[in-house]
A = this chain, B = another copy of it.
Amino acid sequence: MFVRITTEVSPRPNSLKDLGMTSESNPIVSLNEFTYKKGTEIYGEKEPADYVYQVRSGAVRSYKLLSDGRRQIGAFHLAGDIFGLENGKEHRFTAEAIVDTTVRLIKWQSLELVAESDAMVARNLLSMTTSNLQHAEDHMLLLGRKTSLERVAAFLLEMDKRLSGVDVMALPMSRRDIADYLGLTLETVSRAISHLHDLGVLGFIGNTQRQIVLLDRQQLASLDLQN
């Protein structure tokens, strides 16, 4: 069986409705769209955070750099995800399009204004920030205490959950991106994936190494020690 899947991910159910910010309910809010080419910067660290973004299609990486070039990716943003929510100050990450990516833009100012009077919007802003916090907390455990195999297993399970529900994962990001997300080198990531392939936990589909099918999620979960 040969399945051909592009790096484009189908939109997920969640949306700006999560913020209570549909154009219908709040006509003030402008919902412009913009497309970024593969590899281009959407915003830089310490730039003023005038906009909040939602991925319509494509994928985005958010990262910090040390002065000597070491990079830590804090999160990947896939179709449907909202990112760049920095509570009105400045961006704490640099955001780049991993592949050609279309985003929707929301003015932070308008969000803030609505949150002032609408308690539900305020609650949703808080719960979205809390989700980001929870992800970061889990990721600290991974970065501080997990082995390379556990990290890669955890990554594959996370992507399996977040990418399309179908059985083939089309990863938009490179091995280097994965490595910088997991606090490893790209060689170590590649070796771990090869090892999982040898174990029969996953297989490759088509003619690229970016399309992975998980053959044994249970074994994969057992390789990622849970907290």
Residues on B with beta carbons closer than 8 Å to the beta carbon of A139: 140
Residues on B with beta carbons closer than 8 Å to the beta carbon of A44: none
**Per-residue contact bits, chain A 144-164, to B (CB 8 Å; 1 contact, 0 not):** 111000000000000000000
Stretch at the interface among A15-23, A31-39, A124-132, A203-211: A124-132
Residues on B with beta carbons closer than 8 Å to the beta carbon of A24: none
Stretch at the interface among A51-59, A63-71, A98-106, A167-175: A63-71
Residues on A lying within 8 angstroms of B by beta carbon are 45, 64-68, 70-72, 74, 86-87, 92-93, 115-117, 119, 122-123, 125-127, 129-130, 132-134, 136-141, 143-146, 180, 182-183, 225-227
Residues on B with beta carbons closer than 8 Å to the beta carbon of A86: 130
CB pairs A–B below 8 angstroms (13 shown): A64-B138, A66-B145, A67-B225, A67-B227, A87-B126, A87-B130, A115-B122, A116-B119, A119-B122, A126-B129, A133-B136, A143-B143, A144-B182
Residues on B with beta carbons closer than 8 Å to the beta carbon of A74: 137, 140-141
Q: How far is the CA of A125 from the CA of B115 in the complex (A)?
A: 13
- Contact partner of A132 (CB less than 8 A), chosen from B133, B138, B226, is B133
Residues on B with beta carbons closer than 8 Å to the beta carbon of A67: 225-227
Residues on B with beta carbons closer than 8 Å to the beta carbon of A134: 92
CB <8 Å contact, A140 and B72: yes
Q: Which residue of B lies closest to A150 (CB)?
A: B66
Residues on B with beta carbons closer than 8 Å to the beta carbon of A122: 115, 119, 122-123, 126
Q: How far is the CA of A45 from the CA of B87 in the complex (A)?
A: 27
Q: How far is the CA of A99 from the CA of B45 in the complex (A)?
A: 38
CB <8 Å contact, A66 and B130: no
Q: A70-B145, A72-B141, A143-B144 are in contact. List 20 more A-B contacts (CB 8 A).
A: A64-B137, A64-B138, A64-B141, A64-B227, A66-B145, A66-B227, A68-B225, A74-B140, A87-B127, A93-B137, A115-B122, A116-B119, A119-B119, A125-B126, A126-B126, A126-B129, A133-B133, A140-B140, A144-B180, A145-B183
